[in-house]
Chain A
Amino acid sequence: MLAQRSTSASGDAAAPRREGSPWTGLWAVVSKEMADYLSSTRMLILELITVLTAAGTVFTATAQLRETVGQDRFLFLRLFTTSQEPLPAFVGFLVFLVPIIAIALAFDAVNGEFNARTMSRLLAQPIYRDALLLGKFLASLFTLALVLTTIWLLIAGLGLLRLGVPPGGEETARLLWFLLLTVAYGGVWLALGILASILFRQPATAAMAALATWLFFTVFWGIIAGILAQILRPVRIGLPAELLAQAQLEQALSRLSPNVLYTEATVALLRPEVRSLSFVLPSQLQGAILGAPLPLGESIMLGWPHMVGLIAGTILLFALGYVLFQRQEIRA
């Protein structure tokens, strides 16, 4: 689907087909970019920050959890979700750490090539722009996945040592889904970072623009969603239906933010006792055994729309960047 569009940039619009595969050279780009990332200083700094937060939160969490070992079926999941003032839970850290790592990886992906004057040389090779852009995206995604997996294993290992209890099969499955979800969440911010690197020639500007977007969703979007809901669904008389309509609109709007999607889906996956991410009326809870965990499949179903939303957001941002990159003039 994406491949056909680029004919407009690289040639005759009437040409029915381009020669060869648009992905020629893709893996060459991926492996070169990944090698660059893994040997870069910025990667080292990011790893250090994340490992520190992981270790810090796990130690505080295990200190608390040790007292309740044996009472909890999902002890291992608590490693990720238990917080102790003033530190938030590891999941809470990830909500803002992942975007920063992703933006740090991607903000100079395209403009960096222009600034190093390597872009024209690269595009003079027998590859399409498709391969270059997708290669850069995949390399950053794999790098991010690698970092997250490392930390994930690190936490699991620390947990094993400190708690002395191995995770059960279902816990492992839930944690694997959580890892996937976190990578999908990172994908959105990587795509945003790459888009910024296409839009702005200065890497600093691109980084600032991407960080501003992140700040917008982290701080302001929740406030704006509340205000919008009050304007669009005002509470005139104070009927419960009115209050509910307003709250539902506010929630729907706030879910445009990837942060909210990620947090909600994480809650569904890591807290099996959560059975709904929306408003639940007392009438809907009739006959429910409160506190009883949902089976894994049901928890995944609960967070599934969120995961799909994150992936869709990634594709949308990437497609936008793709179209812009295809039309970009090589000349500085």
Chain B
Amino acid sequence: MDIVLEARGLTKRYGDFVAVNRLDLTIRRGEVFGLLGPNGAGKTTTILMLLGLTEPSAGSVQVLGLDPARSPLSVKARVGYLPDQVGFYDTLSARENLAYIARLNGYSRKEAGSRIEAALTRMGLEGVMDKAVSTFSRGMRQRLGLAEILMKHPELIIMDEPTLGLDPEAAREFLEIIRDLRSEGITIMLSSHLLHQVQAVCDRVGLFSKGNMVLEGPVDVLARQVLGGGYHITVEAEGDAGLEAALSRVEGVQRVQRAGPTRFVLEAIGDLRPAVARAVVEAGGQLFALASEAPNLEEIYARYFQKEATNARAA
């Protein structure tokens, strides 16, 4: 897999304030990478630097093998960018808005026409093509923004908070589109603070805090790192006093919590349902239900910052 985006020691300072601190980042072709972190953690600044829209204080960036500072035109022609709270010219129609962008990209009138129709149709906006954008809902604007990007046939798409402010249904649809794009082999980078959404579409995530990328990797790897597993197994079983001890003896189980008279929640390093079932039976218990839950990004996030805070207090 070849490398689409690479940043080395990327730093942005505003006076004394360090917005992004020595960021190293590599994204490979076909990946969906999620940039996570609270507001003000440096996500947008990072994205602007990757696009060459703001000048890094230090470090280097390679996008599609090019330096965005030296070859901004080639980079911008091949990368699609969806800013947070994307705006359009309200008095123009959807088609006219895209036509302007097409002209800026230097497409011929004929090519622009077919690209615009295709992109708007794909985003389900074919019925409102000639309506003024002022009549569009937030979700429609977001889709129009994505249509603009698709019109460019980009190799890399960078999205800043793409689902912010969308209603749950619109957000779900939007994530569905991201998955579709991924299956077409387009590399995607998105930033968000809505963790469960990111978890649903990202192959790999990077966790931002105060300008530093503190954690990076696939969600389950991070879960093992931070939570030491992160799988939750819920067991409903009846048995004698030895049952809880038997459950905690299962290899890979880190903690057993009693959540009710017949209900236990196990923290484990993986999906250990078969082993847990065996343990219940061997301990002479009766098993009613068994459910496993994959590690949760929200929990990783919360736990990580909790740890940070504890460390900070200790120091």
Contacts and interface: CB of A to CB of B under 8 A. Distances in A.
Interface string B35-69: 00000000011001001111100000000000111
Contacts of B105: 125-126
B85 interface: yes
A118 interface: yes
Contact of B70 (A12, A125, A126): A12
Interface stretch (B24-32, B73-81, B186-194): B73-81
Nearest to B148: A121
Given A121-B81, A125-B101, A11 B106 contact: no
Interface in A96-144: 116-118, 120-128
A277 interface: no
B15 to A, nearest CB: 12
B55 A123 contact: no
A212 interface: no
A126 B74 contact: yes
A284 to B, nearest CB: 58
B241 interface: no
B72 interface: yes
B124 interface: no
Contacts of B67: 11-12
Interface stretch (B86-94, B228-236, B293-301): B86-94
A326 to B, nearest CB: 10
B103 interface: yes
Contacts of B85: 117
Given A10-B69, A117-B83, A329-B54, A28 B103 contact: yes
A248 B88 CA distance: 54
Contacts of A9: 55
A159 B106 CA distance: 46
A117 B86 contact: yes
A289 interface: no
Contacts of A288: none
Contacts of B81: 120-121, 124
Interface stretch (A18-26, A54-62, A190-198): A18-26
A127 B102 CA distance: 12
B71 interface: yes
Nearest to B72: A10
Given A11-B52, A29-B104, A124 B76 contact: yes
A20 B53 CA distance: 17
Most buried by A among B68, B74, B87: B87
A116 B51 CA distance: 21
Nearest to A29: B104
Contacts of A25: 103-104, 106
A10 to B, nearest CB: 6
A297 B262 CA distance: 106
Classify chain B's interface size: 35 or more
A9 B52 CA distance: 9
B73 A126 contact: yes
B70 A120 contact: no
Most buried by B among A118, A126, A329: A126
Nearest to B87: A117
Contacts of B148: 121
Contacts of A120: 48, 53, 81, 83
Interface in A151-185: none
Contacts of A15: 69-70
B100 interface: yes
B100 A32 contact: yes
A28 B100 contact: yes
Contact of A24 (B55, B70, B73, B91): B73
Contacts of A128: 72-73
A12 to B, nearest CB: 5
A236 interface: no
A125 B72 contact: no
A117 B84 CA distance: 9
Contacts of B69: 10-12, 15
B103 A32 contact: yes
Given A116-B90, A118-B89, A126 B72 contact: yes
A276 B137 CA distance: 64
Nearest to B99: A32
Nearest to A117: B87
Contacts of A232: none
Contact of A19 (B74, B79, B83): B74
A18 B72 contact: yes
Interface of B: 44-45, 48, 51-55, 67-74, 76-77, 79-81, 83, 85-91, 100-101, 103-106, 145, 148
22 contacts: A10-B55, A10-B72, A11-B67, A15-B69, A24-B106, A28-B100, A116-B88, A116-B90, A117-B83, A117-B86, A120-B83, A121-B83, A121-B88, A123-B53, A124-B83, A125-B76, A125-B104, A126-B77, A126-B105, A330-B48, A330-B54, A331-B45
Closest 8 CB pairs of A and B: A11-B69, A117-B87, A28-B103, A124-B81, A126-B77, A120-B83, A125-B104, A126-B73
